Amino acid sequence: DVQMTQSPSSLSASVGDRVTITCRASQSISRYLNWYQQKPGKAPRLLIYATSNLQSGVPSRFSGSGSGTDFSLTISRLQPEDIATYYCQQSHGTFGGGTKVEIK
Amino acid sequence: QVQLQQSGPGLVRPSQTLSIACVISGDSVSSNSAAWNWIRQSPSRGLEWLGRTYFRSKWYSEYAESLKSRIIINADSSKNQFSLQLSSVTPEDTAVYYCARDDFTSGATLDYWGQGTLVTVSS
């Protein structure tokens, strides 16, 4: 199985900061990488699919990049409503361990 | 607007079979441009993709390798729903179970989710 490793596991940033979360696959997954946001007690929400495609309704401050084994999710200007845990996932496969984003 | 509504028991005895259904509104389980997934989440295992089913002239199912011997995902077109069956459960299978859709038209994966069902495996 492909292993997905996210870093950091948690971060604290100020409103308006640029935030980047990375995800590394144990072997190449081409561009089959998705990002989800999860708030407590809720189902995950799709943000980005196939590495860089913004899901409908997701604010443009979210963006994704990468290919092969190294990927990243960037929030250009952190907002209070972005407080959540973020997960990467190889399409129809393993999820990363999550990155908890908090406001400083 | 696609909506997925889950139903199933919250408590399952060890060695028994866990069964959860997901009723679809706003789309068709037999759609040629969708696939229907099950995912679970627990503190010990995190998020885990379990498998999916889809219709392309006939029904197909794909499963996570680790569960292939115990899992069945199938669909009921008459009820516009799909279901998860996981046999021989142990306390390790205690988790919140979610259903979710893949949209092949846009390429989006897991774009709509059910509300989640907490299943506890305990005697």
The answer, for A86 touching chain B at a CB cutoff of 8 Å, is no
Average pLDDT over residues B19-31: 97
The answer, for B2 touching chain A at a CB cutoff of 8 Å, is no
Q: How far is CA A86 from CA A80, B5, B91, in A?
A: 15, 24, 27
Contact A45 B46 (CB under 8 A): no
The answer, for A63 touching chain B at a CB cutoff of 8 Å, is no
Averaged confidence pLDDT in chain B: 96
State the pLDDT confidence band at B9, using cuts at 50, 70 and 90.
Answer: confident
Closest B-chain CA to A58: B111
The 3-state DSSP class for residue B65 equals helix
Residues B103, B76 contacting (CB under 8 angstroms):
no
Contact A95 B48 (CB under 8 A): yes
Chain A closest CA to B65's CA: distance in Å? 8
The answer, for B4 touching chain A at a CB cutoff of 8 Å, is no
State the pLDDT confidence band at B21, using cuts at 50, 70 and 90.
Answer: very high
User: Considering chain B, what percentage of its residues have pLDDT values greater than 70?
Assistant: 100
Provide the token pair at B72: 């069945």
Contact A46 B49 (CB under 8 A): no
Contact B113 A44 (CB under 8 A): yes
Residues A9, A99 contacting (CB under 8 angstroms):
yes
The answer, for A65 touching chain B at a CB cutoff of 8 Å, is no
For residue B119, which amino acid is it? V
* Tens digits of residue pLDDT in B34-69: 999 999 999 999 999 999 999 999 999 999 999 999
Task: Give A58's contacts (C-beta < 8 A, 6+ positions apart).
Answer: A46, A47, A48
Residue A44 has a pLDDT of 98
Residue A8 has pLDDT above 90, yes or no: yes
Average pLDDT over residues A72-78: 98
Contacts of B107 in chain A (CB under 8 A): 49-50, 53
Residue B107 has pLDDT above 90, yes or no: no
Contact B65 A1 (CB under 8 A): yes
Which of B74, B101, B94 minimizes the C-alpha distance to B85?
A: B74
Which residue in A43, A49, A94 is closest to B109 by CB distance? A49
